[in-house]
Structure 1
Amino acid sequence: MALFFILLLGFISIVTTLLMVLFSGKMMPFTDASGQVLPGSLSEKSWVSINGVELGMIIKSKNINNPVLLFIHGGPGMPEYWLNESYPAHLEELFTVVWWDQRGAGLSYSTVISPETMTTAQMVADTIAVTQYLRQRFRQDKIYLMAHSFGTYIGIQAAARVPELYHAYIGVAQSVNLALSEELAYEWMLDFYGDDKKNHEQLKKAPYGTTAYERIRDQMMHEAGIGTTHKMYSVISGIFLAVMKNREYMLKEKFHIWQGKAFSKNSVLNKEFRQANLSDLITRVDIPVLFFSGAYDYTVNHHLSEVYLEEIRAPEKHFYLFEDSAHSPIFEEPEAVLAILRELIS
């Protein structure tokens, strides 16, 4: 009996230690070969009062004198810093990177946030206010604005409204017309799964626009290689488990990611996004505009993104198609992305 209790206490001790390691939420600093923190580097999780709410952000930099890059995540309501662990983008090599969690999402999730404030206008206003905070904190007149997927819907509107605050706008998987993009994705998958009787029949029974389709959409896209990344075939292992294993989030913060995603999905913001056509909203951006798209991206149709860029009036614009990527080229082909960004800031 005594041996049993000794073993039980040992097991509890091991589990407790493991949980403390996995869910401590402690930020990992940048260190040199000897394990010393790099001078001038920054690895921070913080909250700032913006437009009446506490907004969370993770800031990573190997040199805080580098240009500031504000990253606007997708979703709506789905932060992406966790993805940087499985697929390092290495953006901190060139920038002080601000992984900001939008109102109601992840580190910024709170039950006190009114659903009425979850609108496009508020998100654009938050983006501009966060930009102003970063300009003041890091003493830089302008910063770089990078947005991904849903974030591009917000980001390009902020860039068009106050171009004087930004050096350039980088749209990764630039959204244009979500309804059309989703319809094209469904048609593409019907063709892709043509010889797969089971999946093809499943799609036919759950046509685009139905609740049944929404239930199978994400997994079907990932299995087809057109989801988050070209080689992420499972939503469970690629997204859910990746979030839950991330050491820099506390357990509570991990739950907030899923709570925030559900909260944002049921918001006015999501309805506005799904009904919008940016071709009708934003036709001019008075700073350099870069679009990064993956050749396998049908989550946001890359053909629509390319056509949209042709329509935009900008002092400088470039479309880059990454041949080995799906929805997230900054994570899938980081070396190629960094080469482009290095030239941009030189």
Structure 2
Amino acid sequence: MRKKLNKLIYVEEYVYINGIEQFLFHNGTSYDNPVMLYLHGGPGSAESLFTEGFQGKWEDLYTVIHWDQRGAGKTLTKNPDKYPTIDLLLKDLYDIVHYLKKKYNKNRVILLGHSWGSVLGSTFIKKYPEEVSYYIGVGQVVSMLDNERVGYEKVKELISKKNDIKSLKKLEDIGEYPDKEYSEEWLKKCLKLRKLQEKYKLAASMDLSISLIAFKSPIFKLSDIIALMKAFKSNGKLVEFLVNFNLKLETNKYEIPIFYIMGGNDWQTPYSEAEDYFNKIEAPLKKYYLIPNAGHMTMLDQPNLFFEALQDIAERHKGEN
């Protein structure tokens, strides 16, 4: 385990939010910086353990808070029988935003949503735009079913080009995909597809280098591994919500600035789908960033280029925080 870093702002805490104690991890270099709340992916895949792999430079721009959501990470460990629904998470998020605004004396916060976090974040800013200065979507989900369809076709294309008979047989075994309605069979097919996508580096993979970042984190505990293993069981209702999620069915008007940062090699949440939708967005300010040679874990794959995008965003928006 790494030594805890000597920072002006370095706080691990459990805060009583919406009936349970929830884990927050704060890092920063100045109380004057705007506050960014990082919404992790999954559902159920807390990313607070990976901060040392990408976040150092961010803290010159923002005070960054990671929240292990209900049903994920250290919050799940603390509350093993408290499973999330989208309504519970939106209430959790609302209360955490208000807690952070009071703690840091801010009028608004910035939301960064990664993957599943982009679903939660996009839903929240439509409902509570007055709480957020601006939104950053990373690995932005627009339509889960469209994402799966595009990702399936991409891996099929690469498998066919390589004449990978074994992988082609596995793809054929999956059959028609994606099904239009969520079921246990849908989830089984999705997990089989992810394995093939990981093999062809089209989706996020928990490889040795990423695992080492987590294991070396100053907040890592063995219970974090157990929590990750329980993620599917504890987040079943959220997975069903995710499968049916489709921003295209809602208004494309946003009341706050919107920024997307996408990986050019991301076929888990295909950048092409996000870009098509982004071009239709109406917002006070918006910009789309495509990071080359980066996959679904964009900030880990290209941390310097990702930080340059954040710098540009911070420069473009110097409003009220």
Tell me the TM-score normalized by structure 1: 0.81
Structure 2 counterpart of 1:55: 22
Structure 2 counterparts to residues 291-302 of structure 1, below 5 A:
291-302=260-271
Alignment of 1:181 onto 2:147: yes
Q: Offset at 1:58?
A: 1.1
- Distance in 2 between residues matched to 1:242 and 1:337, nearest whole Å: 18
Q: Which among 208, 213, 218 is matched to residue 189 of structure 2?
A: 213
Structure 1 counterpart of 2:172: 204
Structure 1 counterpart of 2:9: 42
Tell me the TM-score normalized by structure 2: 0.86
- Distance in 1 between residues matched to 2:3 and 2:246, nearest whole Å: 39
- Distance in 2 between residues matched to 1:138 and 1:149, nearest whole Å: 27
Contact 1:244 1:254 in 2 (8 A): no
Contact 2:48 2:68 in 1 (8 A): no
Equivalent residue letter for 2:193: R
- Distance in 2 between residues matched to 1:122 and 1:281, nearest whole Å: 21
Aligned length: 304
- Distance in 2 between residues matched to 1:212 and 1:257, nearest whole Å: 18
Structure 2 counterpart of 1:154: 120
- Distance in 2 between residues matched to 1:169 and 1:329, nearest whole Å: 17
Equivalent residue letter for 1:222: E
Structure 2 counterpart of 1:322: 291
Contact 1:27 1:248 in 2 (8 A): no
**Judging changes above 3 Å, is the alpha-carbon distance between structure 1 residues 255 and 247 closer, same or farther for their aligned structure 2 residues?**
farther
Equivalent residue letter for 2:306: V
Identity %: 25
Contact 2:53 2:213 in 1 (8 A): yes
What is the Cα-based RMSD across aligned positions, in Å?
A: 2.2
- Distance in 1 between residues matched to 2:130 and 2:11, nearest whole Å: 27
Q: Offset at 1:120?
A: 1.6
Range with bigger deviation, 134-143 or 307-316: 307-316
- Distance in 1 between residues matched to 2:172 and 2:86, nearest whole Å: 34
Q: Offset at 1:86?
A: 4.0
Contact 2:71 2:235 in 1 (8 A): no
- Distance in 2 between residues matched to 1:335 and 1:132, nearest whole Å: 31
- Distance in 2 between residues matched to 1:282 and 1:248, nearest whole Å: 40
- Distance in 2 between residues matched to 1:89 and 1:282, nearest whole Å: 36
Alignment of 1:290 onto 2:266: no
Contact 2:10 2:27 in 1 (8 A): yes
Alignment of 1:131 onto 2:101: no
Structure 1 counterpart of 2:86: 120
Alignment of 1:141 onto 2:107: yes
Structure 2 counterpart of 1:275: 244
SS at match of 2:223: helix
Structure 2 segments unaligned to the other structure (5+ residues): 179-184, 316-321
Alignment of 1:91 onto 2:53: no
**Judging changes above 3 Å, is the alpha-carbon distance between structure 1 residues 111 and 140 closer, same or farther for their aligned structure 2 residues?**
closer
Equivalent residue letter for 2:198: H
Q: Offset at 1:121?
A: 2.1
**Judging changes above 3 Å, is the alpha-carbon distance between structure 1 residues 89 and 301 closer, same or farther for their aligned structure 2 residues?**
farther
Q: Which among 228, 233, 247 is matched to residue 263 of structure 1?
A: 233
Range with bigger deviation, 250-259 or 193-202: 250-259
1:247-271 CA-partner distances (Å, limit 9, x unpaired) = 4222223322332x123442x2210
**Judging changes above 3 Å, is the alpha-carbon distance between structure 1 residues 316 and 299 closer, same or farther for their aligned structure 2 residues?**
same
Q: Which among 105, 115, 124 is matched to residue 72 of structure 2?
A: 105
Alignment of 1:344 onto 2:276: no
SS at match of 1:175: coil
